[in-house]
Structure formats: C-alpha cells, structure tokens
Amino acid sequence: MREILTDIKEKLQHGDYQNEEHVRLSLVCRLLFKLGWNIWNTREVNTEFPVIPLEDKTKVDIALFAKESSPSVFVEVKAVGKIAASLAEIERQVRDYNRNNTALFSVITDGRSWRFYYSQTGGEFHQKCFKECDLLDDALEDFEQTFSLFFGKENIVSGRAEDQAGKYLQLTNKQKAVQDSLSQARRLVQAPPFPSLPQAILGLVKQKGFVLSEDEAAELLRRMPEAPAPVLQQAAAFSTGLATLSSHKSQVSKKGIPLLDPENPGDLHHTKVKGTIGKEYGRKWKDLVHIGIRLALQSGHDVRILNSLLPANIKEGVCTGEGYTPVYDLNVSVQGMDANNAAKTLLLLAKKLNCGLELVVSWYGKSPRAGKQGVIQWPY
C-alpha cells in the first residue's frame, strides 16, 4: 500500500491527474483494488450508480457493496483541486444520494483531499464528517492507516470501520483539534528545536482557540481511537518521561530487565525492538534506523560520510528495489539489514549525534534466548 500511495503522491505533484476520470479510474479504483474491492465486479464496485432510479437520474460516481442488498460506501469524485471552492454544494449533493438509499459511509475526494462521512448518524450532513486527509500534506503512514480502517473491505464487512467512525464522531472539540493537528505536529518533532509530540500539539491547538496542558495533550493523544501505534507510544513516553535516559533507567531497574553491552549485545537474530534514539520513538529495527539516519542528515551530516561510517547502505533519491526503502520526508533510501547490523548502526549514530540510545530487545521464535529481554543503552 505504501508504494502505491508514494507513486500516487508523486503523480499528484507532477499534475498527472488532469481530470475527474483520471482521478476515478487511475487513482481511486487503484486504491480500492489494493484495499480488497473487486473493481471488475459491478455488483461490488458500481460506477455511475443510480441512487433513486424511480425518481430521477441522479448517479453517484462509485458505489461499493460489501453485501449485494445495500450500498456500503458512496464515493463522489471530483477533479484535483475542485472541492474546496464548492464543498457545501458537493455535501448537499452527497446528502441527497443518501436520501432514500443510505450508505454506511460517504466519501468526497479529488484524489488529494479526502473527506469521510458517517452517513447513518444524526445531524446535519456536514457534521457527519469524521475524518479529513490530504495525500500531499499528511504523513503517508497516517493516510495508509485511515484508508485501511475506513475504506478496507474487510473492516467494513466486520463492522470495525463503523465502530471506529462512531468513536471519532464522539470526540470532544479538543480531541478533534488534537487529531486535526497530529500530522503537522509529527513533522514538527522531527526538526529543531525537536519538541515532544504533546509540546508540538499545544502550539497547534492554541492556534485553533484551545488551551491544553502538556499532560492533557498526552492524554488526549492516548485516547484517540485507532491512533497509529507510534503516536500512542510517543505520547506515553513523553508524558511519563520515558524518553529520557534517567527515567528509562528507573524503568529498567523496576522491571529487572538486564542491561546489555551496547558494543557486544549478543546475537540479535529473532528479536523485536522498541525504544528511542534521541527523543524519537520507534517499534521496529528499520524504523529506528530510518529515524537515526534522518536525525543525522538533518544535523548536517553528508550521505557519503554516513555510508563510510555505518554498516547501513544509503542512497540519495527514492529507491524501492534491492531491499531499499525511502526514509520518510527525505530524498534518501536505506537498504534493509539484519538486527545485528541495525543495532551497530544505531549505536554509531547515537555516538555521532551525541544523543541517548535506549532499545528494549525481546527474543522470540527459534532463538535460544526466546522469551528473554535486554536493554541496549548508550551512554552505557
């Protein structure tokens, strides 16, 4: 899914989608296919669907049927950039689609901007919008999770999508302000002065007219339904102080997890990891390596120098072949590596950046240490 979203984002930036039909066929249907919808079956993905055939000739661009008896999703498609100026009119149009033949969800999109409506709840139609996304501005991981949850066929069939949509609509105005600010806040924590996630949230929601404490911001982040796991972990880490070396040491001593020699932690095959480099949290070896490399590049270190110092292989540009994956928000890609080399890379990056490193490692599967944990920490 991430590769498709990256490709679509590039095409949007290049202006490749020049009309409404380009958006419907080459963008929306492409995503629907990836999300489990059989776009070749007109009983499941019905384009130009007549919503009230006996009364008028009104047709919705795309109607999705998880069950043949009733529509699950109505999708109204516009050309790129054609939503903002006439949103109220488009919302009235989609409201009328649901007059006698109500779908579970309604979606308005121009390919870049996406608005999700929980059609079967009460209130004015514009009040039923529970989620807004922007493919160019939002983090792709957030966009991917939103689509999988609310547009994925499996989640619609199981009822999980409806359950979560209801929870989104029940958010308080403060929670909505926090949620709307999340993508921008996540970008702010990656740049000087490197605020915590709750700190970044505070300034953004203040611009929307809400005053929060840092603890309240962290609590609202944790309470968000289906928030991306890294967001929840960061909120918990910053609000309890786990992102600092001193507090992490106390956590280790309380739990009795042994400290490992960072220079020689032992065989790390068959391990899972979670932890921080600097103040950035990650839950996978690859994610942590990407975070460390991003911090190094943002600190002014050159790709060529990093390649000479690290076990990691780094290329300039967006590369997806030969095991490379792009580093989020940077024009570089990193080749995949095993856990042992990832740990070495992270230790060298922490030393180079003179920042803290704390990794909680858990062995599993075929490892002789399966079920055990250890902490790699620098300074040791």
What is the pLDDT at residue 253?
A: 32
Number of residues assigned to the chain: 380
Q: Average pLDDT, whole number, for the chain?
A: 80
DSSP symbol at 85: G
Q: What is the pLDDT of residues 18-37, one digit of tens each?
A: 898 898 888 989 888 988 88
Q: Where in the chain is the domain with CATH 3.90.1570?
A: 2-169
Encoding tokens for residue 218? 């962290």
- Per-residue pLDDT of 178-234, as tens digits, reads 777 877 887 787 777 777 777 888 888 888 777 777 777 776 776 565 444 444 444
For residue 249, give every residue at least 6 positions away whose Cβ sits within 8 Å of its Cβ, in sequence order, or none: 377
Residues linked to residue 47 through DSSP beta bridges, in sequence order: 62
What distance in Å separates the CA atoms of residue 186 and residue 141, rounded to the nearest whole number? 11
For residues 52 and 207, give the distance between their C-alpha atoms in angstroms, rounded to a whole number.
43
- What is residue 88's predicted lDDT score, i.e. its pLDDT? 87
Asked if 223 contacts 212 with a C-beta cutoff of 8 angstroms, the reply is no
pLDDT at 274 over 60: yes
- CATH number, span 2-169: 3.90.1570
283 vs 186: CA distance, rounded Å:
16
Q: Which of these, 157, 143, 72, lies nearest to 111 by C-alpha position?
A: 143
pLDDT at position 270, please? 92
Q: What is the DSSP code (8-state) at residue 326?
A: E
Rounded distance between C-alpha atoms, residue 275 and residue 277, angstroms: 7
* pLDDT of the residue at 234: 46
Q: Report the pLDDT averaged over residues 62-70.
A: 84
Query: Over 70: is that where the pLDDT of 347 sits?
Result: yes
Between CA 22 and CA 112 the distance in angstroms is 12
User: Band of the pLDDT at 256, cuts 50, 70, 90?
Assistant: low
Which of 3-17, 23-37, 111-125 is predicted least confidently? 111-125
Amino acid (1-letter code) at residue 217: A
- Which residue is listed with tokens 């929980």? 118
Closest-CA residue to 311 (of 337, 275, 278): 337
Quick one: what percent of the chain has pLDDT higher than 90? 12
Tell me the C-alpha distance between 118 and 211, whole Å: 28
Tell me the two tokens of residue 261: 């020699």
Q: N- to C-terminal Cα distance for the chain?
A: 39
